[in-house]
Amino acid sequence: MDSIERVNKAINLEEPDRVPVAPLIGYEAARFFDITIEEFFVNRKKAERAYEYTIDKLGGIDMVMLPSTYIDFYSPLSPSYSLYYCDWKLPGKELSGNVMPQFNEKPIMDENGYDLLINEGLTHFLSLRKAGFWDLLKFFKAMKRNKAFYRKWFYERRVPMVSDTFTMLPFDMLALMRGLTIFLTDLYRRPEKVIEASDALIDGLIALGEFPIKGFSGKIIFQGSQQASAEIISSNQFEKFCFPYLKRMTEEFAKDGLISHLHHHGNWTPFLKYLGDFPKKKCILYLDDKTDISKAKEILGDRMCLMGNICASLLSLGTPKKVEKATKKIIDGCADGGGLIISCENPPDAQFENLKALVDTTKKYGVYRA
């Protein structure tokens, strides 16, 4: 069974030959390939070689993602990972050559911006950009490069992408534009504006996810949510400001035969119950170790594929034994019946032997009996 078939089975809540394993390879690949993060960042070809080298040395993994390099940070469309909207510090520029790009939170919209968003929708966001016509050309060049990457992995190596395109919830987008601390006070001081702006943004954000996928013939749309966790907002706030948009987005994508990769950071355990009637077999729910994945299996196991839930610091500060134990625990609790992908967002100082333990344990211990 190849990785495409294996992952498709997991998404369809069927048991493949074994549990798929998909650690999210990032800047640690530069170290394994003996180049600096700066070299990885500025030289896309080298980054792709480092990426492939790491995956081959690990003995192969079941899902891949685009190496995060400068061309992604010059996108006039991607709202968060773009220098045209946000203040990013880059390796070799503002940062030393071996530090990953870092986000410097700076509000880019004042409270009056809500009215502009309400009137103009996502196009208002585009007016905040610093990019011009020539930058759009860079963007299309990047798209071409990304398409080649996709073709190589999907068609030649038979490995699907973790996500083919990217979008985000209006909640996260507004938090990004206002700055998290100020945005949290907006939920009390001007809740109606937050809702009206979210209503105005949702169609544009759905289109942002769907538009590029047409050029890829891919089907997985990444819907990131960094801020809408139970540590940050209450269930009432989730119901009001997040849930309707998350549901709408997922349903729209499902209607078009697309898969939502719901990528949730932080503790989502109290919010899992809300996802119970999301489109069946149309979602991959990525959860980090802050959410109780056994609980997710119990509540959503017959609805969507679960992904995660290895603790990131375990890969840098732990040992292969500890990684093996953590991996087995997730497999024991969640693998039955299919619908599980073992994964982790690798920190830049992840140790190779720990990553290898993650991959090897899943491949050996995660075998389904026929």
Partner 1 sequence: MESEGLKEELVSAVTNLEENKVYEIVEQMLESGENPKRIIENLRKGMTIIGDEYSKCARALCDLVMASEILKSAIRLVEPSLKMSAVTQIRGKVVIGTVQGDIHDIGKNIVISLLEGDGFSVYDLGVDVPPQKFVEKVEETNAKVVAMSGLLTVSYPSMKETVIALKRSGIRDKVKIIIGGAFVNEKWRNDVEADAYSKNAYEGVEIIKRFVGEA
Which residue stretch of 159-167, 177-185, 210-218, 274-282 sits at the interface with partner 1 (rule: CB under 8 A)? Answer: 177-185
Compute the least distance from the CB of residue 94 to partner 1, in Å: 8
User: Which lies closer to partner 1 via its Cβ, residue 166 or residue 183?
Assistant: 183
* 65 interacts with partner 1 by CB under 8 A: no
Q: Could you say which of 119, 181, 217, 319 contacts partner 1 (CB under 8 A)?
A: 181
User: Contacts with partner 1 in 185-224 (CB under 8 A)?
Assistant: 185, 187-189
User: Which lies closer to partner 1 via its Cβ, residue 95 or residue 207?
Assistant: 95
Compute the least distance from the CB of residue 100 to partner 1, in Å: 8
Question: What's the token pair of residue 87?
Answer: 């203040």
User: Which lies closer to partner 1 via its Cβ, residue 91 or residue 209?
Assistant: 91
Q: Could you say which of 4, 118, 143, 184 contacts partner 1 (CB under 8 A)?
A: 184
User: Which lies closer to partner 1 via its Cβ, residue 94 or residue 203?
Assistant: 94
DSSP, collapsed to helix, strand or coil, labels residue 120 as helix
Q: Could you say which of 12, 36, 68, 316 contacts partner 1 (CB under 8 A)?
A: 316
Which residue stretch of 141-149, 180-188, 215-223, 358-366 sits at the interface with partner 1 (rule: CB under 8 A)? Answer: 180-188
User: Which ranges constitute the DSSP H helices of the chain?
Assistant: 3-11, 28-32, 37-42, 44-57, 70-73, 113-120, 122-127, 133-150, 170-178, 180-189, 191-210, 235-237, 243-255, 293-300, 312-317, 320-334, 352-365
C-alpha closest to that of 178 among 269, 102, 105: 105
C-alpha closest to that of 169 among 229, 118, 213, 225: 225
Q: Could you say which of 216, 312, 322, 345 contacts partner 1 (CB under 8 A)?
A: 312
Which residue stretch of 10-18, 88-96, 110-118, 136-144 sits at the interface with partner 1 (rule: CB under 8 A)? Answer: 88-96
| Exposure class string for 27-49: b at 16+ Cβ within 10 A, else e | bbbbbbbebbbbbbbbebebbbb
Which residue stretch of 91-99, 122-130, 191-199, 333-341 sits at the interface with partner 1 (rule: CB under 8 A)? Answer: 91-99
User: Which lies closer to partner 1 via its Cβ, residue 178 or residue 303?
Assistant: 178
* 108 interacts with partner 1 by CB under 8 A: no
Sequence-distant (6+) residues with CB within 8 A of 144 are: none
DSSP, collapsed to helix, strand or coil, labels residue 175 as helix
* 105 interacts with partner 1 by CB under 8 A: yes
Q: How far apart are CA 327 and CA 362, in angstroms?
A: 7
Q: Could you say which of 45, 104, 192, 369 contacts partner 1 (CB under 8 A)?
A: 104
Compute the least distance from the CB of residue 187 to partner 1, in Å: 6
Q: Could you say which of 2, 103, 151, 280 contacts partner 1 (CB under 8 A)?
A: 103
Q: How far apart are CA 308 and CA 103, in angstroms?
A: 23
User: Contacts with partner 1 in 331-350 (CB under 8 A)?
Assistant: 347-349
* 353 interacts with partner 1 by CB under 8 A: no
CA 196 to chain centre: 26
Q: How far apart are CA 172 and CA 273, in angstroms?
A: 20
* 287 interacts with partner 1 by CB under 8 A: no
3-class secondary structure for 231-300? CCCCHHHHHHHHHHHHHHHHHHHHHCCCEEEEEECCCCHHHHHHHHHCCCCCEEEEECCCCCHHHHHHHH
* 317 interacts with partner 1 by CB under 8 A: yes
* 47 interacts with partner 1 by CB under 8 A: no
* 151 interacts with partner 1 by CB under 8 A: no
| Exposure class string for 120-135: b at 16+ Cβ within 10 A, else e | ebbebbbeebebeeeb
* 237 interacts with partner 1 by CB under 8 A: yes
Which residues of the chain form contacts with partner 1 (CB under 8 A)? 89, 95-96, 99-100, 102-105, 180-181, 184-185, 187-189, 230-234, 237, 312-313, 316-317, 347-349
